């Protein structure tokens, strides 16, 4: 794909990401009696006590742990090795942002999942119908699962109908295929803000979410990008965490329905039992009848926080249980779900973390060696290399992510290490703005700028306004 100054991808794809707190790989202690949720200037209290957890059907354990057999204490060498590895990472503060460390850890896990069950296939795709053709392919895999107990992992080589016969998929076409499909799935099947996406209710008629789960597995196993758009509570529900751990990640602003948020805020702001009764009797608060609140039980100043917890949990998680189950079934493909349940290294592939993202240091390490090897023959080319190196050396992390997206058309780093090319734009020597050929991760440097100031202005204009 050729990408010039103002390309298809919007700035919001990179900038519109929500970053949660640094996650711990150890078991977390239960939170205090009440948790505080922020909503603008107001504070919303929701209880997390044992007593209220029992009302919600939560476990009484004093620590938060994953439910199901995968989280039971085991004495296997693999589990011990994972615990030691995580402990070392914490002790020495190895950041997930160090993609080299992250890839070194996760690639062997992926290879283990694939084993010897892999085949290379060639797919010809109409570029204008990527979503439709990908949906058909992955829904077909859903139907195959009912017949095949041990599926074979497919590594597609993609050709597009509008590419030259000599163009070869060096993984760029394949990543475009997944990327377009994922973006369409987000638009059609999800709701929410930024990267805190929730599956829409009633998207279950054509196995779309199962198909998406299978597509995510295939994409990850091929060393491409994950799907770091899920709300953390949804991800925790998918991997079988208990209610307490899921509830930690349910916040008022995550509820998509504005009227529901308004009622919750009114309940939180009420000063008397009478105000609460009046709010509950209003038409827009009728949803309280189906969030699981016991029939006939009154709501008062002393127990309203329990009701608020019911509401948050219902609209963010329980309301979407069928959709969560579909995603879970799709992610079970190739035994992938069992792997992500037992290893925290997979979480950044589903829940966005700034700690697993492109940094300025990463882009400098990638591009500066390429610039140094670039053969500059004319004065214009020699100056162009100097100007480009100065721009790359001055990148901050946000600019680095935008430059990475400009060159690769990806918002997130793939699991398999990518190479980048830099060449002079000799076909259009008067051009001022840089260009890129994203399928080859190739950056074309402009030769038309007369000095460093003009080059810098053009360079950052192109990546910031893409």
Active-site residue set: 439
Annotate 63-96 with b (16+ C-beta within 10 A) or e (fewer): ebbbbeebbeeeeeeeeeebeeebeebeeeeeeb
In angstroms, what CA-CA distances link 313 with 305, 308, 321, 326? 12, 9, 11, 19
Helical segments of 115-207, H only: 130-145, 172-189
Long-range contacts from 317-322, C-beta under 8 angstroms, 24+ separation: 317/233, 317/234, 317/237, 317/246, 317/250, 318/291, 318/292, 319/201, 320/198, 320/199, 320/200, 320/201, 320/234, 322/201, 322/204
Q: Measure the CA–CA gap between 50 and 62, rounded to whole angstroms.
A: 8
CB 158 within 8 A of CB 123: yes
Q: How many CB atoms lie within 10 A of CB 465?
A: 12
User: What secondary structure letter does DSSP report for 66?
Assistant: B
| Nearest Cα to Cα of residue 130 among 172, 161, 152 | 161
Annotate 368-393 with b (16+ C-beta within 10 A) or e (fewer): eebbeebeeeeeebebbbebbbebbe
Q: How many CB atoms lie within 10 A of CB 402?
A: 25
Q: How many angstroms separate the first and last alpha carbons of the chain?
A: 14
Positive or negative CA dihedral for 326, 330, 331, 334?
A: positive
SS3 content of the chain, % helix, strand, coil (to 5): 50, 10, 35
Q: Measure the CA–CA gap between 141 and 253, rounded to whole angstroms.
A: 36
| Nearest Cα to Cα of residue 226 among 96, 81, 139, 78 | 96
Q: How many CB atoms lie within 10 A of CB 259?
A: 12
- For residue 58, give both structure tokens: 């939560």
| Nearest Cα to Cα of residue 425 among 460, 449, 401, 391 | 449
């Amino acid at each position: 794909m050729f990408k010039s100054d103002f390309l298809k991808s919007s700035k919001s794809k990179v900038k519109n990401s929500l970053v949660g707190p640094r996650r711990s790989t150890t078991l977390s202690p239960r939170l205090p009696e009440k948790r505080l949720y922020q909503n603008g200037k107001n504070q919303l209290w929701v209880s997390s006590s044992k007593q209220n957890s029992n009302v919600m059907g939560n476990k009484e354990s004093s620590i938060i742990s994953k439910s199901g057999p995968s989280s039971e204490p085991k004495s296997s060498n693999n589990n011990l090795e994972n615990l030691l590895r995580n402990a070392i990472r914490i002790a020495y503060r190895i950041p997930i942002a160090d993609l080299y460390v992250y890839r070194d850890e996760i690639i062997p896990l992926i290879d283990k999942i694939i084993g010897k069950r892999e085949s290379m296939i060639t797919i010809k795709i109409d570029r204008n119908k990527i979503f439709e053709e990908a949906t058909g392919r992955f829904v077909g895999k859903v139907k195959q699962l009912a017949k095949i107990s041990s599926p074979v992992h497919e590594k597609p080589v993609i050709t597009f109908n509008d590419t030259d016969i000599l163009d070869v998929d060096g993984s760029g076409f394949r990543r475009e295929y997944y990327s377009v499909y994922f973006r369409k799935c987000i638009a059609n099947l999800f709701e929410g803000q930024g990267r805190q996406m929730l599956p829409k209710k009633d998207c279950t008629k054509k196995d779309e979410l199962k198909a998406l789960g299978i597509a995510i597995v295939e994409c990850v196993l091929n060393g491409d990008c994950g799907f770091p758009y899920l709300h953390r509570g949804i991800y925790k529900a998918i991997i079988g965490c208990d209610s307490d751990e899921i509830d930690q990640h349910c916040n008022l602003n995550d509820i998509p329905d504005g009227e529901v948020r308004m009622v919750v805020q009114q309940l939180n702001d009420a000063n008397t039992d009478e105000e609460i009764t009046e709010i509950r009797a209003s038409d827009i608060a009728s949803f309280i009848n189906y969030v699981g609140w016991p029939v006939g039980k009154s709501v008062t100043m002393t127990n309203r926080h329990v009701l608020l917890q019911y509401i948050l949990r219902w609209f963010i998680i329980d309301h979407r249980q069928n959709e969560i189950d579909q995603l879970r079934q799709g992610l079970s493909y190739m035994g992938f779900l069992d792997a992500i349940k037992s290893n925290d290294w997979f979480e950044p592939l589903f829940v966005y973390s700034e700690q697993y993202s492109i940094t300025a240091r990463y882009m400098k390490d990638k591009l500066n060696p390429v610039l140094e090897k670039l053969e500059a023959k004319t004065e214009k080319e020699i100056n162009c290399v100097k100007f480009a190196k100065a721009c790359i050396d001055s990148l901050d992390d946000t600019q680095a992510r935008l430059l990475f997206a400009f060159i690769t058309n990806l918002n997130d780093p793939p699991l398999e290490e990518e190479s980048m090319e830099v060449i002079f734009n000799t076909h259009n020597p008067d051009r001022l703005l840089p260009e890129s050929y994203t399928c080859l991760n190739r950056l074309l440097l402009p030769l038309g700028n007369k000095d460093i100031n003009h080059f810098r202005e053009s360079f950052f204009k192109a990546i910031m306004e893409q």
